Each structure stands twice: as C-alpha cells, then as structure tokens.
Amino acid sequence: MTSPVQHPLIDHHLGILRDVSTPPALFRQQVHRLASLVAVSATADLPVEETEITTPLTKMSGRKLKPRIGIVPILRAGLGMVDPMQDLLPDAEVWHLGMYRDEETSQPVEYYCKLPEGRPCDVVFILDPMLATGGSVLSAIDALKRWGCQDIRILSLIASRPGTERLEREHADVKLFVAAVDPELNENDFIVPGLGDAGDRIFNTPQ
C-alpha cells in the first residue's frame, strides 16, 4: 500500500495548499515547495558515478548523476511542478503529454504526445499534482513503456486511495511519491478532501 512521504514541512505546506482561501500566487508557491520536498525522496536512490573535480586547492573525487533523466509533466496541471524539478535536475530532458478528463466518463483523453522515437530516458519522472482515478497517469505510463522506459516514477501532491490501489494493480513496477493519500473520490471522481481542481487553481481559471 502506498504511503505518503513523511515530513513536517510537507504537512505544513500541504495545509496551505488545500485551503480554499489560498490565492493563486501562493498556491503556485506551495506547489513548488511541495514538489521540491517530494522530489528529494523520489531521487534518493538515483545512481551516481565517480568523477574527478578540481577545487581551488586540489583535485578530488566527486560524484555526478549517471542516468539520462526525463521529466514528463501531464498537461496542464503538471506544468506547475516542472520548475522545482528542473531546479534539482537542471540537465534533465522535459517531454510533454497532454491529457484532459472527459467530464461525462471521467476517462482521460490524450490530445498531445511529444515523445521522440527511440532511445528512451533511463529514469522518467511523471508529474501530476492530483492522482484521482489514476486514468491520466496510467495512460502516461503506457506511453512511456511503449517508448521503452524501464524506470518510471510518479511525483504527485495528493492521491486518492482508489487511485493508488489501481496503480498498484496495473503497474506494480512503477513507484509513486506523494505528499498525501486521501481516502475517497466523490461522485464526480474528485479527491476528497483534496483541494479542488489543481490546474484551475494554478492557472487561476475558476469554473
């Protein structure tokens, strides 16, 4: 069973993120902060290799990341998590997957896929603030596996327990790193208690 990343700063910033009175500018800052905190756990076991560096005083052995890393935000809400990931992984490649949820069926509809032919990244991080039914994330995983990715990791801020259980059933090899797991979905497949629509709150486009 998926467990959220534990840290008092995550608890603090998540409370602000959830609050309906949090304005868009602060909401975006909270997304940035939480994505950074979750990313620390998601990158903790990345392989490194030895490299020689020269300090102002002498030569020494250092370490650098070994794998070719890809960042794949699910449009549009995932864009809010790209900057903190690039702050930590400035050499990572950024590829985009566009999906929206059909409001009648709650199923993901892919409208954009920008993955190159051949030579997949070694490690890919899917960015999606909300993992509700899991449909969009599962479609993204399928696209990345078709690309040939072997190590796929999901970074999310809030997931539903039904969504995490579906992920575990259908893609047990994919790791999920999330700030909180909420217990249920409502009749419209929104996470409860959740925070509403992350994309609308990030981009200030209230419905």
Q: What is the CATH number of the domain that holds 195?
A: 3.40.50.2020
How many Å separate Cα 136 from the centre of its chain? 12
Q: What is the reported pLDDT for 94?
A: 95
Burial class of residue 113, CB neighbours in 10 A (0-12, 13-18, 19+): middle
Catalytic site includes residue 182 = no
Cα distances from 35 to residues 17, 81, 84, in angstroms, run 12, 6, 6
Looking at the domain assignment, is residue 70 inside a domain?
A: yes
Roughly what angle, to the nearest 10 degrees, separates helices 161-170 and 135-147? 30
Regions of the chain with pLDDT less than 50: none
The answer to the question of residue 58 being in a domain is no
What is the per-residue pLDDT for 75? Answer: 86
User: Does residue 57 form part of some domain?
Assistant: no
Range of the domain at 169: 8-46+65-203
Q: Which of 101, 153, 161, 166 is catalytic?
A: 101
Residue 145 lies inside a defined structural domain of this protein? yes
**CA–CA distance, 124 with 11 (Å, rounded to integer):** 26
* Catalytic residue (choose from 51, 83, 87, 105): 105
Which amino acid, one-letter code, is at 122?
D
Given the residues 68, 153, 161, 197, select the one marked as catalytic: 197
Taking the CB of residue 67, how many other CB atoms lie within 10 A of it?
15
Q: Is 189 a catalytic residue?
A: no
Give the pLDDT confidence score for residue 106 in this predicted structure: 63
Entry pTM: 0.92
Q: Which of 76, 50, 86 is nearest to 198 (CA)?
A: 76
Catalytic, 151? Answer no
Q: What is the pLDDT of residue 119?
A: 87
Identify the three-state secondary structure at position 11.
Answer: helix
Retrieve residue 74's tokens.
Answer: 């699910």
Active site residue 54: no
In a domain, 59, yes or no: no
Domain count, the chain: 1
What distance separates the 2 farthest-apart alpha carbons in the chain?
65
